[in-house]
Every structure is written in structure tokens, then in C-alpha cells.
Amino acid sequence: AQKVTQAQTEISVVEKEDVTLDCVYETRDTTYYLFWYKQPPSGELVFLIRRNSFDEQNEISGRYSWNFQKSTSSFNFTITASQVVDSAVYFCALSDDYKLSFGAGTTVTVRA
């Protein structure tokens, strides 16, 4: 069975600080996909990034970067130089075979 754990419930930072969100997953499959989604106060889940299990190369996209480590089953996400608009709930998600499962989410509050 697949499982996604986000141990951090809430994170509060001051604007321009970096924020790193932790995600640990469990799956029996060798082929799977990991995602990060953002849910702003409006409620709509917004896709941010995707990584497949065969590509451990870490990347940076604008102010977002991610660190995928298969050895520790972790898929951490970093927002660099946070802004107030980054305040939202962030969800890590795992898709193996066909089912997309979400973690419990981490609430990020960025204070001006």
C-alpha cells in the first residue's frame, strides 16, 4: 500500500526566508511519480512539480527546488526567498500504477 507522510503540520517564516517542506513516502512499486501541490485559501489545488522514480536529479524552477532521495524515500521541497503569496497548504502526493494519494499537508505562513 502507498503512504505519504508530511511530518510538519505548520511552518511560519518571515518574508525572504527559505522554507523547506519534508515528505516521506512508502510504496512497493519500482515505478512511481511524486508531486507537490499548493492549496491557497481559495481552495483549488494547484500542481507545482512532478518527479518520476527513475530520475533522482534535483532541479530548480524559479524559487522552487526539490530534493528527491530514493534511498531514504524522501521528496523534499524548498521555496527560496519566500513571499507572502506563498502562504498556503502544501501537499506531497504519490502516484504508483494509477492511484494518486496525498499527505496530510503542511500549512505555510509567510509573514511580511
Partner 1 sequence: EAGVAQSPRYKIIEKRQSVAFWCNPISGHATLYWYQQILGQGPKLLIQFQNNGVVDDSQLPKDRFSAERLKGVDSTLKIQPAKLEDSAVYLCASSNGGGGYTEAFFGQGTRLTVV
Residue 12 in contact with partner 1, rule: CB under 8 A: no
The dihedrals phi and psi of 85, each to the nearest 5 degrees, come to: -70, -10
Query: Which residues touch 84 (CB under 8 Å, ≥6 apart)?
Result: 15, 110, 111, 112
Residue 30 in contact with partner 1, rule: CB under 8 A: no
Query: Which residues touch 63 (CB under 8 Å, ≥6 apart)?
Result: 79, 80, 81, 82, 83
Total residues at interface with partner 1 (CB under 8 A):
26
Q: How far is the CB of 97 from partner 1 (least distance, A)?
A: 6
Residue 8 in contact with partner 1, rule: CB under 8 A: no
Residues of this chain, 58-97, that bind partner 1 according to CB under 8 A: 91, 95-97
* Cβ burial, residue 81 (10 Å; 0-12/13-18/19+): exposed
Count of helix runs (H) and strand runs (E) in the chain: 0, 12
Instruction: Pick the closer one to partner 1 by CB: 2 or 78.
Output: 2
Residue 42 in contact with partner 1, rule: CB under 8 A: yes
Q: How far is the CB of 35 from partner 1 (least distance, A)?
A: 6
Give contact residues for partner 1 (rule: CB under 8 A).
4, 6, 32-33, 35, 37, 42-47, 50, 52, 91, 95-105
